[in-house]
Structure 1
Amino acid sequence: MTHEPFVRPELNVDDVTVTYNNGHTAIHNASFTLSGGSICALVGVNGSGKSTLFKSIMGLVRPTAGQVSLSDKPVADALKKNLIAYVPQTEDVDWNFPVLVEDVVMMGRYGKMNFLRIPSREDRLRVDKALERVGLSELRSRQIGELSGGQKKRVFLARALAQQGTVLLLDEPFTGVDVKTENAIIELLRALRDEGHLILVSTHNLGSVPEFCDRVILINRTVLAAGPTETTFTQSNLEQAFGGVLRHINLSGPDLHDDNDPRTVTVLTDDERPAVFYGHTKSDPPANSQAREKQS
């Protein structure tokens, strides 16, 4: 399957602060830059500002200070062109609302229709291609509430694909899905990255981050660390971002080695897939990241 080329986007969050009307500051002085052709994990505890950051990028909340831009233009311009697509948590959706799978995917085309929202041949073609890409063509006429958790995730991915956004924001895409579905989502995200898309994934699934994310942003009301996964997704940075929320499991000495090898295994988890670190210090990269480097 061939895909249309596009200019790779660059997302710039510059010293953004968001204070709500009740006086609560959700994020302050947050800054980072991301370029197309990458997958970035947004990692932090609940209440750390991940949702507010997403809303700022989507134009749903206006920064009290600082600015968000896409390819050196205000994010509002990108939103008018439907360049930013959002895949929500399934928990945020009313599954009792009677709507067909293909109709949900067609919603991704609304920004390109006239006010009557009558689908064109191009709109229907985009929906067909999006459903085919996520493997749901045969379920297009099903009520979305009848689908499994993993299938529902793929429907909203298809909606984002039909929108033709160059920036994809995914909110907890692995919550409530099995390993097979998780792997299928990761494979699709890798393909989109290779086509030039910029993908930002909010996730608690720490163990999967080193496997498919090129970059990581650790957040707790501000950006604590941002950069390549191998140097940023470290035990020390995770402990700073999560505080006492993560559970620690440590193995060393005779519990791990038959000799005097000083290296330790540390498992960090918040009830989802854990991050595993193997090495001498808290600045060592995750174990699965080390294995990936050896294979490449």
Structure 2
Amino acid sequence: MKEVLQEEIRNFVTASPDNRFAGSDHPYFEEPLVGFAAADDPLFSDFKHIIGEFHLTPGEVLHEACGCSVEEARTVICWILPIAEATRKSNRKAQKVPSREWSMTRSHGEHFNTLLRIHLSNLIRSIGAKAVAPLVAGLWRPVKDPRVGMASTWSERHVAYVAGLGTFSLNDGFITEKGIAHRCGSLVTDLVIPASPRTCVDPWNNCLYHRDGSCGLCIRRCPVGAISLQGHDKEKCQAYVYGELRETAGQLYGVMETGCGLCQTKVPCETRVP
């Protein structure tokens, strides 16, 4: 089943016309990475202390959506959708606002990611198993926590970490073997699938700054100074991305969700683990 699901995700990304810019054959995303996490991995419980009690475990996701016991959750399926090379190249030139291609990927590409969540969930349900994608099932919500700041009830990045797909970074991104410029997705199922190994020595190992104190180029790339050697100012970043950019790039490109991504392009971790 593991190989079947991996191939299904890859085929959907490769073949779906929804993974294409309007009027073009150019994709939003390149070949995905896929990982699997055991639903009872202790890290999911640890997140209630690291992130907050509000962060759901896989068992709570399945219980909330299906009414079943939390023990029925067995596996979390995760994927990384690397942003296409042409889009990344266009955003390398950006200094204040993201490129049109980047903004289209953040808006329409994320819609494709939602379609992938739905497609995979329906496939699993068609064989009689349970499947819930928290971002489709209405279980994701933003949380402003006094201790950690901006957070949510289901972090796609943290779930991907449990599945061995990468580590965190100075700018609060997630660096995979295909880099930091990507979108994440996940779902919870009662299918039993072997977990992917976590090979990194710590949760920040793929980030050059955290690994040896070098780099920090993402600091210079941020147009509003939301990244420093102390980390990522989530509120300053959010105010820019969901405030100013909606008024500028959003109106220019005709989308509400423009993203930014300057700190994810023209940096050593854009496409790889440096």
Give TM-score, length-normalised by structure 1: 0.30
Considering fraction of residues, name the structure with more strand: 1
Higher Cα Rg: structure 1 or 2?
A: 1
